[in-house]
Amino acid sequence: MGEEQQREERWRTEAYPMKGGDAMDSYANNSSYQRGGVVAAKKVIIEAVGEKLDLKSIVSSNIFRIADLGCSVGPNTFFAAENIINAVQSKCQYDQYQGGVLHDLDHVCPEFQVFFNDHSSNDFNTLFTSLPPDRQYFAAGVAGSFYCRLFPSASLHFVHSSYAINWLSKVPKPIIDKSSAAWNKGKIHYSNSKDVVVEAYEVQFGEDMECFLHARAQEVVFGGLIALVICGRPNGMPHSQNAQNITFELLGSCLMDMAKKGKVSEEKVDSFNIPMYLMSPQELEAAVDRNGYFGIERIEDLPNVLQLGGRPKSEVISSHWRAIMHGMMKVHFGRDAVIILDELLELFRKKLEEDLSLMNSISDTLYTFFALLKRQARE
């Protein structure tokens, strides 16, 4: 296989979009946890832009270009775009008016263009019909995997991504290969699996991050910023103890219970794996160091916010996973996916209610961290 073919194979990705539309079971109405992370990151982004962004040196055409990678269907992506724009506007005003004296009157605040990116199977119709009517930017959609190049060279000033790069580009091949030592029979994730399964996920994560950072290094201007809100795990925490992985373990046990009762094919369950890796801040730092084109300006933990909206916690958690898993189930289980998902999440909800300590552990100890990267010249 030639080098170009190897690159194409490496960048071939799988797509599992969130549940589209605006119905009660849609991602738009079941992503309050993700919204909490975006809101929590607002203060950090304002500080980061104020301290780390040199508008005069990076903006040459009076257009400030922002990309939100893995935008899904809103409204969280719109909050993120507004936060970034407000931060840049405040920075621009501060630069012009310091110490009670106006400076550089010819330098005005730039216009803004926001690129909303996700896989081509994402519900862009819902995204664009729900765009804020009073937005301060020109909006455009960019379809494709963010593990590949998406934009022209040195065209972006600010890249944002929240709760997206924890998704791998694909399920690691060894774990669905029956002849492999890493075949993950009877499980849907690497949590509490054999070491060789964990290693397969780690390898895929490393390759994906290399692709992500390599692509962004070509697209982001020198001095430009990347802000990441990441669902991960604390440094030093074993994968099996991470709240998100405990969730996967419980979901997997529910699916196997259904298989034992003949409600779903056990073979189908054996080949179903969730392509998500929960990185630690140290793993992100190592990936950035290997890439060499970015410096990490800031990493910090974000508060865990789960908005219940008056609903039982078990219902909120199960509805959250319904919106997330809809695409994966549809691709893997075909026409029976909705029926299987309904029963799976009802069983999942009941197990949560039977073990309140487990439910509280899953909901209250989810770990999210913020990372700010700055594009720099490679030595």
Q: Domain of 230: which CATH number?
A: 3.40.50.150
pTM: 0.92
d(CA 151, CA 82): 21
d(CA 211, CA 221): 18
Q: Which of 17, 326, 331 is nearest to 143 (CA)?
A: 17
Let me know the angle formed at the C-alpha of 88 by 97 and 134, rounded to the nearest 5 degrees.
Answer: 110
Domain count within the chain = 1
pLDDT tens string, the chain, 379 residues long: the values are 444 444 445 556 788 888 889 888 888 888 888 988 999 999 999 999 999 998 888 877 899 999 999 999 989 999 999 999 999 999 988 877 665 555 554 557 899 999 999 999 999 999 999 999 999 999 999 999 999 999 999 999 999 999 999 999 999 999 999 999 999 999 999 988 999 999 999 999 999 999 999 999 999 999 999 999 999 999 999 998 888 898 999 999 999 999 999 999 999 999 999 999 999 999 999 999 999 999 999 999 998 877 777 788 888 889 989 999 998 999 899 888 889 999 999 999 999 998 888 888 777 778 999 999 999 976 5
What letter represents residue 346's amino acid?
E
Contact at 8 Å (CB) between 218 and 17?
no
Residue 81: CA atoms inside 13 Å, Cβ hemisphere, count?
28
6 in any annotated domain: no
5 in any annotated domain: no
313 in any annotated domain: yes
Residue 178 burial by Cβ neighbours in a 10 Å radius (0-12, 13-18, 19+):
exposed
Give the largest Cα separation in the chain, rounded.
Answer: 75
189 in any annotated domain: yes
352 in any annotated domain: yes
How far are the Cα atoms of 135, 186, 217, 295 from residue 285, in angstroms, in the given order?
Answer: 34, 33, 16, 9
143 in any annotated domain: yes
Tokens of 75: 């409204």
Q: Which of 222, 225, 230 is nearest to 373 (CA)?
A: 225
Domain span at 47: 12-375
